[in-house]
Amino acid sequence: MTKQKGITAKKEKNFSEWFTQIVQRTKLADLRSNVKGCLVFQPWSVLSMEKMYKILEENLQRKGHKPYWFPTLIPEENLKKESEHIGGFTPEVFWVTHGGKKKFEEKFALRPTSETIIYSMFSKWIRSYNDLPFKTYQRANVFRYETKATRPFLRSREFYWIERHSAHSTENDAFNQVKEDMQTTKEVLHNIFGIPFIFFERPAWDKFPGAYRTFAADALNPDGKVIQQPSTHIISQKFSKAFDVKFKDKDGKEKLAWITCYGPAISRIFASIIITHGDDKGLKFPWEIAPINIVIVPINQDDKKIKNKAEKLKKQLQKLTSVKIDYSDKRPGEKFNYWEMKGIPIRIDLGLKDLQNKKITLFRRDLDKKIIIPEKEIVKEIKKISKEFTQNLIKKADKVFEGRIKNASNLKEIKKIIKQGGIARVEFCSIDKEGERCAEKIEKEVGAEVRGTKLDEKKKSSGKCAICGKKANHIVYIAKAY
């Protein structure tokens, strides 16, 4: 048997190499397929992402969003209907031009996103205010011809997501949907997956193609770069006009619907999960989405008593969660390292001495600590740990994140914070068109971006723009991005 390679790169010192080792050595994905920019997702990531899908879909369904499966092929005609949208997406579209040997008169796009097919159906389904709000979502893979460097889970040409689309009768209802999306993101990404983030309204110059208002969550990587997580948009009414999404209102008048969409990318969120919680030993899965929650390592596995005990424990604990016994021919020490690297929440080390003393030794990956408990308390203890586990990961992650947001009042201070891998919070003239020049100056001199404003910002700006010195209308956050 070949010796399992462990993680040797340090997360804080060499994040990029650490991430590559994590992906390959814990077998999250195989990058060796001959499809450029795409990867083979392996069981250790798929099992976890299936759980992520389930949690997110259940949350959406609870809030009244209904699942649909729309075609992957989108006729070019649909994409062309809204000019800003097609302008924004054309460079990234994979085109299907042939069916067998026959060349299509009109080509199809492999969905880069599904607005243009979903809204064309909205126009057939929505008639009156009684039909609104109309709430749909689908889980799907999407295709984008990325020309920037691809990175597993973070940016690839095919990725996995949920897209939620809805139509509403008023702008206010649409805005409430956007707020619900932010709440959903908090409930799932933060409270279950343990990812700290800030939800920003993006500046006028950084909106989704065809959006009227764009809101997006930014998470932070150890190299000081933010990574965009779900975004939610109030779509420009040009869309409802282009796709004829109209309804007869209570006053008898025909009106254009207000449309919103929200796109949590499961594979990319998975990246933030492993980046946020992983350490120099390897992965650390939140309890709720671990591929397997408990591994039992029989230390003297040829001993019949140990084997019986392992099987008995497995049966008992399987009623609570997923359990696996490691009977491989590795030495116990290798098995310990291996499962720590794989990020299994709890390991049970089963030895003869414990068996005689009616004790059980547990290793908790949340605290990286061994504990010894009386055998009869095992079920109670696992139940207790399952409730604390993710909370411990969240507390730690939040502390790191909050420590990296710092106030700055001029370009020099912004530079310093960015250089230290932080996010700078500054007074800024405007996130409308007129502020773009100041944003460009920051980009040029610091290599960082104005990510936007926080909707729930407590303090309102009263000072001067840190860049141009004019009256500041907004407080913005500045960070490096991928």
450 belongs to the binding site for Zn ion (CB under 5 A): no
Q: Write down the residue that tokens 């309890």 correspond to.
A: 287
Phi and psi angles of residue 361, each rounded to the nearest 5 degrees, phi first: -100, 125
Rule CB under 5 A: choose which of 397, 438, 442, 476 binds Zn ion. 438
- Of the candidates 308, 303, 298, 393, the residue with the CA atom closest to the CA atom of residue 336: 298
Q: Tell me the closest approach of the beta carbon of residue 186 to Zn ion, in angstroms.
A: 31
Least distance from Zn ion to the Cβ atom of residue 286, Å:
40
Question: Stretches 287-295, 344-352, 388-396, 463-471: which one binds Zn ion (CB under 5 A)?
Answer: 463-471
Using CB under 5 A as the binding rule, whether residue 465 contacts Zn ion is answered as: yes
Please give the size of the binding site for Zn ion, defined by CB under 5 A: 5
Among candidate residues 382, 301, 383, the one with its CA nearest the CA of residue 335: 301
Q: What is the dihedral of CA 302, 307, 309, 312, to 10 degrees?
A: 180
Smallest distance, Zn ion to C-beta of residue 476, A: 10
Indicate the residue among 77 and 443 with the shorter CB distance to Zn ion.
443
Among 467, 475, 476, 478, binds Zn ion (CB under 5 A): 467
Instruction: Please state whether 388 falls in left (phi above 0), alpha (psi between -120 and 50) or beta.
Output: alpha
Residue 169 φ/ψ, nearest 5 degrees = -85, -25
CB of 411 to Zn ion, least distance (A): 11
204 binds Zn ion (CB under 5 A): no
Query: Is residue 429 at the binding interface for Zn ion, with CB under 5 A as the rule?
Result: yes
Give the CA radius of gyration of the chain: 25
Looking at beta carbons only, is 313 or 465 nearer to Zn ion?
Answer: 465
Ramachandran sector of residue 252 (left: φ over 0; alpha: ψ -120 to 50; beta: rest): left
- As a whole number of angstroms, the distance between CA 168 and CA 178 comes to 11
Per CB under 5 A, the segment of 118-126, 268-276, 286-294, 427-435 that binds Zn ion is 427-435
Q: Which phi and psi angles does 106 have, rounded to 5°?
A: -125, 130
Q: Which of residues 112-151 bind Zn ion (CB under 5 A)?
A: none
- The nearest distance, CB 225 to Zn ion, in angstroms, is 24
**Which amino acid belongs to residue 68?**
Y
Stretch that binds Zn ion, among 97-105, 121-129, 142-150, 433-441 (CB under 5 A): 433-441
468 binds Zn ion (CB under 5 A): yes
Calculate ∠ Cα 385-388-391, nearest 5°.
150
- The residue (of 411 and 468) whose beta carbon lies closer to Zn ion is 468
Backbone angles phi, psi at 478, to 5 degrees: -120, 130
Residue 133 beta carbon to Zn ion: minimum distance, rounded to whole angstroms:
38
Q: How far apart are CA 389 and CA 393, in angstroms?
A: 7
Listed residue (439, 423, 420) closest to 431, CA to CA: 439
Please name which of 122, 93, 57, 37 lies closest in space to residue 209, comparing C-alpha atoms: 93
CB of 215 to Zn ion, least distance (A): 22
CB closer to Zn ion, 368 vs 440: 440
Q: Which is nearer to Zn ion, 58 or 440 (CB)?
A: 440
Q: Least distance to Zn ion from the beta carbon of 428, Å?
A: 6
- Kindly write out the interface string for residues 381-420 of this chain, putting x where it contacts Zn ion by CB under 5 A and - elsewhere: ----------------------------------------
Q: What per-residue string of b and e applies to 124-159 under the rule 16 or more CB within 10 Å gives b? A: eebeebeebbbbbbbbbebbbebeeebbbbbbbbbb
Report, in Å, the least distance between residue 214 CB and Zn ion.
Answer: 21
The length of the chain is: 482
Nearer to Zn ion, 182 or 468 (CB): 468
**For residues 273 and 431, which CB has a smaller minimum distance to Zn ion in the complex?**
431
Q: Rounded CA gap, 107 and 95, in Å? A: 7
Given the rule CB under 5 A, which of 177-185, 259-267, 380-388, 458-466 is the region that contacts Zn ion? 458-466
Could you tell me the smallest distance in angstroms from the CB atom of residue 416 to Zn ion? Answer: 19
Nearer to Zn ion among residue 45 and residue 430 (C-beta): 430
Q: Name the minimum Å distance from CB 472 to Zn ion.
A: 7
Residue span binding Zn ion (CB under 5 A) among the ranges 79-87, 183-191, 233-241, 459-467: 459-467
- Closer residue to Zn ion (CB): 259 or 438: 438
Interacting residues with Zn ion between 250 and 289 (CB under 5 A): none
Q: Is 468 exposed, middle or buried (0-12, 13-18, 19+ CB in 10 A)?
A: middle
What is the CB neighbour count within 10 angstroms for residue 340?
20
**Chain residues 313-372 in contact with Zn ion, contact rule CB under 5 A:** none
Give the footprint of Zn ion on this chain (CB under 5 A). 429, 438, 465, 467-468
